[in-house]
Amino acid sequence: MTKHIRILLMVVFAVAVLTGTAAAYDGSEAPKNITISENTGKDVKVTTTAQTVGELFSEQGIEIENEDIVSKNTDEEIISGETIKITRALTINFNINSEVKTVKTHKSTVGDVIAENSSLLGEGYELKGANESARLYNNMTLNFSVPTDEIVTSTEKVAFETKYVDNTDMPEGTEKVTQEGKSGVLEITKKQYYFDGKITKVEEISHKVIEEPVDTIIQVGTKKKEQPASSIDGLNYKKTITMKSTAYTPNDAGCSGRTATGAKATKGIAAVDTNVIPFGTKLYIPGYGIAVAADRGGAIKGNRIDLCYNTLSEAYSWGRRNVTVYVLE
């Protein structure tokens, strides 16, 4: 009995020793030597009891961003002596027309990161202060000028006109504004193109009158002023004519006693050029009196007048003289 107990105790002890030894040499507790290498040029050697890559990064306070590349997944087990590589994405600042946009990249040159982010720039951009073959570095700022455009709407005045309208009820020489003029409004829409803050081109898209001009209207008087009647010896006249005068009688040679209008030749009849004084016109000649233009004569042309007398002595007495002939109303 004692022998069996002794054997049993020895077996239990052996199992206990073996179990302890296994636990002691379980990799979960054994320290591991790991190298963490980053493309930023920093290599760190650490000793850790972490089991996975994620635990190691948490232990070492290492943050991994979405754009970073790690040589092992965060849930993979780490092995003592290995190197875990972290390739950090570079932060590049695109300064586009003074507006900064930040991108992440694993590209190595300026030209490569521009090609990778071409949608930010569009066509016609200009890279300033850098060469596309230049190597990238973290937090590098690239400066760009890119063409832009905008729609601009402006207004201009539309000139109004001044119209004059005759008014027969207003005295001649007078005016009256019956409608004040007002400028109209023209709306112009343009597309303006810019580069480096300067306008490079302007295109007119449309223009339309949004407010019609209102013309100035001025009434102009055309009613003639009534002139005060001119008179001589109590007779009103409308004009005067300076003429050369002669005298004749009904009995002169070539006279029939009748005028060219068929009237009896007598004192008060005047022979005239009808291109100057029409037949039937009443006249007043100082020194002679009132006469009616009712006859003509072969020598009576232009501003000539021949006055009829009843007697030869009166005709001789009149003779030839310059006279002012008053054309009566």
pLDDT digits (tens, 9 = 90+) for 240-255: 999 999 999 998 887 8
State yes or no: pLDDT of 7 exceeds 80.
no
Residue 248's DSSP bridge partners are 308
State yes or no: pLDDT of 205 exceeds 80.
yes
234 and 324 in a common domain: yes
Of 148, 151, 225, nearest to 189 by C-alpha is 151
| Inter-residue contact 245 to 318 (CB < 8 Å) | yes
Give the mean pLDDT of 156-175: 94
**Does residue 95 sit in helix, strand or coil?**
strand
Q: What domain count does the chain have? A: 4
Neighbours of 306 (CB within 10 A): 20
| Inter-residue contact 288 to 318 (CB < 8 Å) | yes
pLDDT reported for residue 9: 42
The token pair at 243 is 């003429």
Examine residue 7 and state whether it is found in any structural domain, yes or no. Answer: no
pLDDT reported for residue 106: 95
320 and 238 in a common domain: yes
Look at phi and psi of residue 212 and say left if phi exceeds 0, alpha if psi is from -120 to 50, else beta.
beta
Examine residue 30 and state whether it is found in any structural domain, yes or no. Answer: no
Close Cβ partners of 224 (under 8 Å, ≥ 6 residues apart): 172
Indicate the pLDDT class of residue 73, thresholds 50, 70 and 90. Answer: very high
317 and 234 in a common domain: yes
| Inter-residue contact 185 to 159 (CB < 8 Å) | no
Give the mean pLDDT of 15-32: 52
Cα 246 to the center of its chain, rounded Å = 80
| Inter-residue contact 205 to 189 (CB < 8 Å) | yes
State yes or no: pLDDT of 306 exceeds 70.
yes
82 and 96 in a common domain: no
**Does pTM surpass 0.85?**
no
Neighbours of 182 (CB within 10 A): 15
pLDDT reported for residue 69: 94
State yes or no: pLDDT of 297 exceeds 50.
yes
pLDDT reported for residue 157: 96
pLDDT reported for residue 108: 94
Examine residue 47 and state whether it is found in any structural domain, yes or no. Answer: yes
For 270-299, b where at least 16 C-beta lie within 10 A, e where not — what string? Answer: bbbbeebbeeebebbbeebeebbbbbbbee
251 and 170 in a common domain: no
Q: What DSSP designation does 190 have?
A: E
Per-residue model confidence as pLDDT tens digits over 179-188: 999 999 999 9
The token pair at 122 is 């569009």
310 and 264 in a common domain: yes
Look at phi and psi of residue 12 and say left if phi exceeds 0, alpha if psi is from -120 to 50, else beta.
alpha
Residue type, 321: R
Cα–Cα distance, 129 to 278 (Å, whole number)? 101
Rg (the chain; Cα; Å): 63
What does the mean pLDDT of the chain come to?
90
Give the mean pLDDT of 295-323: 94
Neighbours of 121 (CB within 10 A): 18
Cα–Cα distance, 196 to 21 (Å, whole number)? 76
State yes or no: pLDDT of 4 exceeds 70.
no
The token pair at 189 is 């829409």
Look at phi and psi of residue 254 and say left if phi exceeds 0, alpha if psi is from -120 to 50, else beta.
left
239 and 217 in a common domain: no
Give the mean pLDDT of 280-302: 95
User: Beta strand 198-211 with 184-195: parallel, antiparallel or unpaired?
Assistant: antiparallel
State yes or no: pLDDT of 150 exceeds 60.
yes
The least confident of 9-23, 230-244, 290-304 is 9-23
Examine residue 256 and state whether it is found in any structural domain, yes or no. Answer: yes
pLDDT reported for residue 237: 95
The token pair at 327 is 């054309």
Alpha helix positions (H), the chain:
2-24, 53-60, 110-116, 312-318
Examine residue 29 and state whether it is found in any structural domain, yes or no. Answer: no
Cα 114 to the center of its chain, rounded Å = 38
137 and 120 in a common domain: yes
State yes or no: pLDDT of 15 exceeds 60.
no
pLDDT reported for residue 39: 86
Percent of the chain at pLDDT above 70? 91
HSE, CB side, 13 Å, CA atoms: give it for residue 81. 0
**In the block, residue with structure tokens 């946009």:** 101
Using the 3D structure, point to which of 179, 204, 223 is the last residue of a domain: 223
94 and 81 in a common domain: no
Using the 3D structure, point to which of 175, 196, 223 is the last residue of a domain: 223
| Range of the structural domain that residue 288 is part of | 230-328
Indicate the pLDDT class of residue 102, thresholds 50, 70 and 90. Answer: very high
Kindly report the CATH number assigned to the domain that includes residue 129.
3.10.20.90
Alpha helix positions (H), 122-270:
none
Percent of the chain at pLDDT above 90? 83
pLDDT reported for residue 16: 41
Give the mean pLDDT of 284-313: 95
pLDDT reported for residue 20: 43
Give the mean pLDDT of 85-98: 95
pLDDT reported for residue 256: 86
pLDDT reported for residue 29: 66
State yes or no: pLDDT of 22 exceeds 90.
no
